[in-house]
Amino acid sequence: MIVAPHMSVHPFSPLFFKTRAYFSAGRHVSYLKVNRVIEKKKFRLLSIMSSLRLSSRSLLLKRLYASFKPAPQLTVSDLNESTLEAKYAVRGKIPIRADELRSEIDSNPDGHGLPYDRIISANIGNPQQLDQQPLSWYRQVLSLMQYPTLINKISTLDKKTADSLYPPDVVERARKLLKTTGSVGAYSHSQGDITVRKSVAKFISERDGYAAHPQNIFLTSGASSAVSYLIQVLSSSPNAGFLIPIPQYPLYTASIALNNAKPIGYFLDEDSHWSTDPVQIRRLIDENKANGVDLKALVVINPGNPTGAILTEKDIAEIIDIAAEHGLVLIADEVYQENVFEGKFVSMKKVYAQLLEKDPETYKHVQLASLHSTSKGVSGECGQRGGYMELVGFSQEVRDIIFKLASINLCPVVSGQALVELMINPPKEGEPSYELYQKETTGIHDDLMKRASLLYKSFCAMTDVQCNKPQGAMYLFPSLKFTKETYSKLFEASEELNLTPDEYYCTELLEKTGICCVPGNGFGQVPGTYHLRTTFLPPGTKWIEEWTKFHEDFVSKYKN
Amino acid sequence: MIVAPHMSVHPFSPLFFKTRAYFSAGRHVSYLKVNRVIEKKKFRLLSIMSSLRLSSRSLLLKRLYASFKPAPQLTVSDLNESTLEAKYAVRGKIPIRADELRSEIDSNPDGHGLPYDRIISANIGNPQQLDQQPLSWYRQVLSLMQYPTLINKISTLDKKTADSLYPPDVVERARKLLKTTGSVGAYSHSQGDITVRKSVAKFISERDGYAAHPQNIFLTSGASSAVSYLIQVLSSSPNAGFLIPIPQYPLYTASIALNNAKPIGYFLDEDSHWSTDPVQIRRLIDENKANGVDLKALVVINPGNPTGAILTEKDIAEIIDIAAEHGLVLIADEVYQENVFEGKFVSMKKVYAQLLEKDPETYKHVQLASLHSTSKGVSGECGQRGGYMELVGFSQEVRDIIFKLASINLCPVVSGQALVELMINPPKEGEPSYELYQKETTGIHDDLMKRASLLYKSFCAMTDVQCNKPQGAMYLFPSLKFTKETYSKLFEASEELNLTPDEYYCTELLEKTGICCVPGNGFGQVPGTYHLRTTFLPPGTKWIEEWTKFHEDFVSKYKN
């Protein structure tokens, strides 16, 4: 080993050689007890070093430490087991393989030898990676917020030119936001900028007809960081239980695994449009309580991911009853609230406020966290990481702990906070940007509805596939009706590769067509059933035709 | 309690009333065993309900659940204890009080009754909240990336007007980034966009003279998320130990507490410019290993936060030796690498690569994570949440787990990723933006140096304050030479409020002058010593004069 001649310039710190004591600098910090535990030989050597010249010290140091045997590299067995356990299929094995295939295509466009020239990422709701254009309103304001100097520059141009670059209401909004929120390059309050939080509270109040308060609003990085704070703060022991829908968005199982808590899955009813069954939830609660599980929260995803189902007001009311009776925190993941094709979205906050108004004694302790995001809806601004969480019914002391977690992360990205404001506070009728905004949002909404319907019909037409009609969100979760009896070759082939039949199907689909979706087992499914989740976002019909062809070939190959 | 007439429209799910079995949908998901544990009375009632008409079901449901007693609200004792334990003083009690005072001023500008009209947030390195202007280069490119349509629009203007809005190299860079990175509104790869990662690898290679590889680069949300991934993944048990400097940036103690692991503080030597003493670290390792602590990582902050100290190449080499011998992951927090006023920053990666080159057998298993950020330096773009982490020496399987954690968070904000690219790849000599970029960056750097020096001199002139000359970073960490003997009145007053003398001092400073800084106990300090951390970012000298006056009044009041 080569030892650099450290000691010749930089001497041992005098700190060490004095017998001055160092104590704890905080309850958790181990303290250094001088003269203890150290090997005697080393200590003798170290002790006399303080009296030596620097060059001699250096020599001695070499003798002490020069001959160390290097320690081995870490393996996964050295790591936090919870981080090994956590699974996140949406960006798991199949999407990782899709990335490899994409690299192959990119690095050798003419000679990659694959039967396709592109990968279709239907594994994740990422509209702008496909062909969805961002809304001009959002991007115009954000552009000025990034470069405020431009506001002055364009004001020196003739009005026609200036207006062709930025409509006046865009300039006005950017000015206003810059004044209240400040530079997008400065940390904001950890809970998010107060003026944006006021806007969010106003938006919720108007949406629901019941008051919301800025101090209850937390701006977040997408909805994911809200989920992560809530599950972290509630995971009081390995016995802490979280009721989650099955199928679910795997962020929930992943966060629960990372916090070493217990997911308790309640099954959504595929035969009844993936509806939620409050009675089943009650039975699970009774059973788990009897088994000593410390139930903490009940997660509801509405509109459903991956199911696309929309909860009825009546089911929401029953869920709130359950929370009130059992002291469960309600986590209402409502990020798809704008993506509704059939039925009507009613927020859990609204139903909660109605019940509370009628019967305050019964509902005053219900604790509800509802989440929203700029990543979905017609915004689709996933990469901008904007979102918010409203906390109602929590005590100040509990909210303070959640605030502390947010503080440790400093603040959500400030441009994402501004985007939240732009999403909930769009141009109004009569304002210059109104018409374009309407045109763009209606266009996106209709387009999504068409794509959903098209893909749905194609699934319905495929052999041995059943699919619920989409009511909302961005996904379909069709069932692949494969049984051991009818598809014995498939089951054998899957077992050989240590895959489930849905994993096998999705793997084959990717390899043969370049379409990347996620097997149902990443979301949870009734055992013995097989599904997949796909977004309906990719444009055109060609990919659906390719999928249909693949599917029928697959069925011919594997069906008995 | 009011029960909404749920069942009249939405019937019980048939799922429940069939005796069809529901099993686990994954290893962790509890399964529902039908006919078990549920109260007999309830079960009998539920069982006959399937045969009843909807209206009768509804009535029965009311009888079953109508009379529940609402559960109480959560208290902190229901929460995850680790989240209670974690402390983050930089946004803790005193900054929270500062926010209250700021609200008081804002809501009643003329009648707030405070002896000042503004709060100076010296508690956090947040340059753009004070008066630092963002670099035009960054903001121009980001502005076009937010609103790509503008690129076409300005191309239709006459060249002079177009160039006055955006220099041609800005347009060129925005075009290039949009082509490779895509929309800032799309999720990127969880590890960050590959073209930006390639740029980062090139930047590191050029900085250090040793190769870096894009697959080892993780783009992150500031440096904070990198710290959080590393500590989470390494916290294998409550016995996992992390060596951290004292004083430290409290993100480390907070993350360690959140993961229920052990911080092992090694003291920096205030008498020797806050230098790091490798021998002390070795002793701590010996002692903690003897006590059975499973040491995982060694954290180095260089340039130091809060100390401002810069590590010598020789100390770095010794630290790497320690890591090699004991198999400790090195976490090199190098976010202040551009903020250097005296001496020279040498990256840990460079010294590691030199050692590895000379003696591969000894160093091949050293695992180093080095962190950088767009929040500090001359960028100061805290709110944009850009950063990166380079992992070297880690096995693929360990890197995969870190990648999974990044995936669960979807992706770092994409505009922040672009900002990383702009930071490490600024305009070159001869390019249109070069001159302005040089002028702005040099201006900021010189200004910071002046502010540091001015504040340093003021501290040196204050009674009973000692301060090390700043070498780098954005803070001063002066020592308040208060002892029980000389300041007995201060110790009494502090004890009465259950504060430490440094907390008392900072509280008084805030209340009397509106200057918000952080007491030393938030960072750790040798017991019996008292410090504070303040940024030197606030502009002007008036606040320093006010501080000086406050200080001398404080000393007159409390010194015996």
- Do A322 and A454 belong to one domain? no
Containing B521, the helix (H) or strand (E) segment is none
How many Å apart are CA A52 and CA A63, to the nearest integer? 15
- Locate A176 and state its tokens: 């206003």
The answer to whether the bond into A238 is cis (omega within 30° of 0) is no
Q: Are strands B329-333 and B294-301 parallel, antiparallel or unpaired?
A: parallel
- Which residues have CB under 8 Å from A457's CB, separation 6+? none
Question: Which of A6, A293, A299, A391 to mutate to test binding with chain B, by most B CBs within 10 Å of its CB?
Answer: A6
Q: Do A232 and B258 touch (CB under 8 A)?
A: yes
Cite the DSSP H helix spans in B182-269. 194-208, 224-234, 251-258
How many Å apart are CA A209 and CA A350, to the nearest integer? 7
CATH code of the domain covering residue B542: 3.90.1150.10
How many Å apart are CA A450 and CA B102, to the nearest integer? 51
How many Å apart are CA B426 and CA A93, to the nearest integer? 37
**Predicted confidence band at A91 (pLDDT cuts at 50, 70, 90)?**
confident
Segment A113-132 mean pLDDT: 91
Q: Would you list the DSSP string of A77-114?
A: GGS-HHHHH---GGGSHHHHHHHHHHHHHHH-TTT---
Dihedral (CA of A132, A137, A138, A144) sign: positive
Question: Which residues on chain A are in Cβ contact (under 8 Å) with B526?
Answer: 22-23, 25
Out of A76, A91, A314, closest to residue B9 by CB: A314
Residue A399's closest chain B neighbor by CA?
B76
**Predicted confidence band at A261 (pLDDT cuts at 50, 70, 90)?**
very high
Burial B408-419 (b: 16+ CB within 10 A, else e): bbbbbbbbbbbb
Q: Do A314 and B186 touch (CB under 8 A)?
A: no
pLDDT of residue A129: 87
- pLDDT exceeds 90 at position B26: no
- Do A401 and A479 belong to one domain? no
Q: Position of tokens 């600098």?
A: A25
In a domain, B161, yes or no: no
3-state secondary structure of B538: coil
- Do B410 and B545 belong to one domain? no
pLDDT of residue A455: 96
Are B76 and A398 in contact, with CB atoms under 8 Å apart?
Answer: yes
Question: Which of A28, A93, A188, A296 to mutate to test binding with chain B, by most B CBs within 10 Å of its CB?
Answer: A28
- Do A365 and A454 belong to one domain? no
How close does chain A come to B460, measured CA to CA in Å? 22
Question: Which residues on chain A are in Cβ contact (under 8 Å) with B353?
Answer: none
- Do B289 and B341 belong to one domain? yes
Of how many residues is chain B composed?
560
**Predicted confidence band at A62 (pLDDT cuts at 50, 70, 90)?**
low
Between A28-42, A145-159, A495-509, B251-265, the lowest mean confidence (pLDDT) is in: A28-42
Question: Which residues on chain A are in Cβ contact (under 8 Å) with B416?
Answer: 413
Question: Which residues on chain B are in Cβ contact (under 8 Å) with A293?
Answer: 30
Q: Is B388 exposed, middle or buried (0-12, 13-18, 19+ CB in 10 A)?
A: buried
- pLDDT exceeds 90 at position B204: yes
Q: Do A408 and B355 touch (CB under 8 A)?
A: no
Question: Which residues on chain B are in Cβ contact (under 8 Å) with A356?
Answer: none
3-state secondary structure of A149: helix
**Predicted confidence band at B17 (pLDDT cuts at 50, 70, 90)?**
very low
3-state secondary structure of B73: coil
Q: For chain A, percent helix, then strand, then coil, each to nearest 5?
A: 50, 10, 40
Residue A125's closest chain B neighbor by CA?
B187
- Locate B169 and state its tokens: 């190299």
Q: For chain B, percent helix, then strand, then coil, each to nearest 5?
A: 50, 10, 40
**Predicted confidence band at B127 (pLDDT cuts at 50, 70, 90)?**
confident
Question: Which residues on chain B are in Cβ contact (under 8 Å) with A387?
Answer: none
**Number of domains chain B is built from:** 2
Domain-terminating residue out of A367, A396, A424: A424
Longest dimension (CA), chain A: 88
- pLDDT exceeds 60 at position A169: yes
Out of B146, B186, B416, closest to residue A139 by CB: B146
Out of B129, B185, B416, closest to residue A381 by CB: B185
* Rg of chain B taking only CA atoms, in angstroms: 29
Segment A185-211 mean pLDDT: 96
Out of A4, A317, A385, closest to residue B4 by CB: A317
Say how many C-beta atoms besides its own lie within 10 A of residue A512's C-beta.
17
In a domain, A11, yes or no: no
> Of B168, B170, B104, which Cα lies nearest the Cα of B137?
B170
Domain-terminating residue out of B371, B402, B424: B424
How close does chain B come to A216, measured CA to CA in Å? 16
Summary mean pLDDT of chain B:
88
- Do B402 and B378 belong to one domain? yes
**Predicted confidence band at A87 (pLDDT cuts at 50, 70, 90)?**
confident
Question: Which residues on chain B are in Cβ contact (under 8 Å) with A264?
Answer: 29-30
Question: Which residues on chain B are in Cβ contact (under 8 Å) with A167?
Answer: none
Q: Do B80 and A259 touch (CB under 8 A)?
A: yes
Question: Which of B131, B296, B407, B537 to mutate to test binding with chain A, by most A CBs within 10 Å of its CB?
Answer: B407
Question: Which of B74, B78, B405 to mutate to test binding with chain A, by most A CBs within 10 Å of its CB?
Answer: B74
The beta-strand segments (E) located in B259-323 are 262-267, 294-301
Q: Do A321 and B86 touch (CB under 8 A)?
A: no
pLDDT of residue B93: 86
Q: Do A74 and B291 touch (CB under 8 A)?
A: no
> Of A254, A242, A264, A305, which Cα lies nearest the Cα of A87?
A254
How close does chain A come to B444, measured CA to CA in Å? 15
In a domain, A277, yes or no: yes
Say how many C-beta atoms besides its own lie within 10 A of residue B260's C-beta.
18
Q: Are strands A240-246 and A262-267 parallel, antiparallel or unpaired?
A: parallel
- Locate B408 and state its tokens: 């669960």
The beta-strand segments (E) located in B151-228 are 217-220
- Do A402 and A480 belong to one domain? no
Question: Which residues on chain B are in Cβ contact (under 8 Å) with A258?
Answer: 232, 405, 408
Cite the DSSP H helix spans in A235-376. 251-258, 278-290, 313-326, 348-358, 360-363
How many Å apart are CA B56 and CA B405, to the nearest integer? 50
Q: Do A70 and B188 touch (CB under 8 A)?
A: no
Question: Which of A42, A45, A139 to mutate to test binding with chain B, by most B CBs within 10 Å of its CB?
Answer: A139
How many Å apart are CA B188 and CA A477, to the nearest integer? 24
Summary mean pLDDT of chain A:
88
Out of A126, A314, A398, closest to residue B76 by CB: A398
Q: Do B408 and A258 touch (CB under 8 A)?
A: yes
Q: What is the pLDDT of residues B223-258, one digit of tens each?
A: 999 999 999 999 999 999 999 999 999 999 999 999
**Predicted confidence band at B417 (pLDDT cuts at 50, 70, 90)?**
very high
How close does chain A come to B362, measured CA to CA in Å? 6
SS (H, E, C) A509-557: HHHHHCEECEEHHHCCCCCCCEEEEEECCCCCCHHHHHHHHHHHHHHHH
pLDDT of residue A139: 97
**Predicted confidence band at A48 (pLDDT cuts at 50, 70, 90)?**
low
Which residue range is the domain that position A299 belongs to?
171-424
Q: Position of tokens 């404080």?
A: B554
Are A367 and A330 in contact, with CB atoms under 8 Å apart?
Answer: yes
Segment A453-465 mean pLDDT: 96
3-state secondary structure of B342: coil
How many Å apart are CA A279 and CA A266, to the nearest integer? 10
Q: How does DSSP classify residue A472?
A: B
Q: Do B321 and A263 touch (CB under 8 A)?
A: no
Out of A128, A314, A407, closest to residue B186 by CB: A128
CATH code of the domain covering residue B231: 3.40.640.10
> Of B428, B245, B262, B437, which Cα lies nearest the Cα of B330?
B245
How close does chain B come to A277, measured CA to CA in Å? 6
In a domain, A478, yes or no: yes
**Predicted confidence band at B129 (pLDDT cuts at 50, 70, 90)?**
confident
Are B547 and B509 in contact, with CB atoms under 8 Å apart?
Answer: yes
Please work out, in degrees rounded to the nearest 5, the angle formed at the alpha carbon of residue A513 by the alpha carbons of A510 and A514.
Answer: 55
Interface confidence (ipTM) of the complex: 0.87
Say how many C-beta atoms besides its own lie within 10 A of residue B182's C-beta.
17
Residue B409's closest chain A neighbor by CA?
A224
How many Å apart are CA B97 and CA B512, to the nearest integer? 13
In a domain, B512, yes or no: yes
Q: What is the pLDDT of residues A226-256, one digit of tens each?
A: 999 999 999 999 999 999 999 999 999 999 9
Residue A87's closest chain B neighbor by CA?
B404
Q: How far is CA B511 from CA B113, B458, B516, B532, in A?
A: 12, 21, 9, 16
Q: Is B60 exposed, middle or buried (0-12, 13-18, 19+ CB in 10 A)?
A: middle
Full-model pTM: 0.88
Are A320 and B60 in contact, with CB atoms under 8 Å apart?
Answer: no
- Do A205 and A330 belong to one domain? yes
Question: Which residues on chain B are in Cβ contact (under 8 Å) with A165?
Answer: 150, 153-154
- Do B261 and B339 belong to one domain? yes
Are A246 and A521 in contact, with CB atoms under 8 Å apart?
Answer: no
What whole-number percentage of chain A has pLDDT above 70?
Answer: 88
Residue A178's closest chain B neighbor by CA?
B129
How close does chain A come to B326, measured CA to CA in Å? 6
Q: What are phi and psi of B344, to 5 degrees?
A: -140, 135
- Do B413 and B474 belong to one domain? no
Question: Which residues on chain A are in Cβ contact (under 8 Å) with B500?
Answer: none
Q: Are strands A479-480 and A465-466 parallel, antiparallel or unpaired?
A: antiparallel
Question: Which of B78, B191, B392, B399 to mutate to test binding with chain A, by most A CBs within 10 Å of its CB?
Answer: B78
pLDDT of residue B216: 97
Q: Do B359 and A1 touch (CB under 8 A)?
A: yes
> Of B235, B280, B269, which Cα lies nearest the Cα of B86?
B235
Out of A36, A148, A398, closest to residue B79 by CB: A398
Q: Are strands A294-301 and A240-246 parallel, antiparallel or unpaired?
A: parallel
Which of B142-146, B179-183, B540-544 ranks highest by mean pLDDT?
B142-146
B168-181 vs B136-146: helix axis angle to the nearest 10? 50
- Locate B286 and state its tokens: 């010996």
**A201 compared with A64, residue with greater pLDDT:** A201
Domain-terminating residue out of B389, B424, B459: B424
B54-65 vs B40-49: helix axis angle to the nearest 10? 170
* Rg of chain A taking only CA atoms, in angstroms: 29
CB pairs under 8 A between A and B: 523
Containing B277, the helix (H) or strand (E) segment is none
Q: What is the pLDDT of residues A350-364, one digit of tens each?
A: 999 999 999 999 999
* Residue A331 C-beta-side C-alpha neighbours within 13 Å: 23
Question: Which residues on chain B are in Cβ contact (under 8 Å) with A286?
Answer: 37-39, 42
In a domain, A4, yes or no: no
Question: Which of B62, B234, B279 to mutate to test binding with chain A, by most A CBs within 10 Å of its CB?
Answer: B279
- pLDDT exceeds 90 at position B92: no
- Do B521 and B455 belong to one domain? yes
In a domain, B419, yes or no: yes
In a domain, B75, yes or no: no
- pLDDT exceeds 70 at position B464: yes
CA dihedral A496, A499, A502, A507 (to 10 degrees): -90
- Do A509 and A396 belong to one domain? no
Q: How far is CA A495 from CA A232, A488, A531, B321, B497, in A?
A: 36, 11, 17, 48, 68
**Predicted confidence band at B57 (pLDDT cuts at 50, 70, 90)?**
low
Out of A80, A190, A278, closest to residue B236 by CB: A80
Say how many C-beta atoms besides its own lie within 10 A of residue A506's C-beta.
30
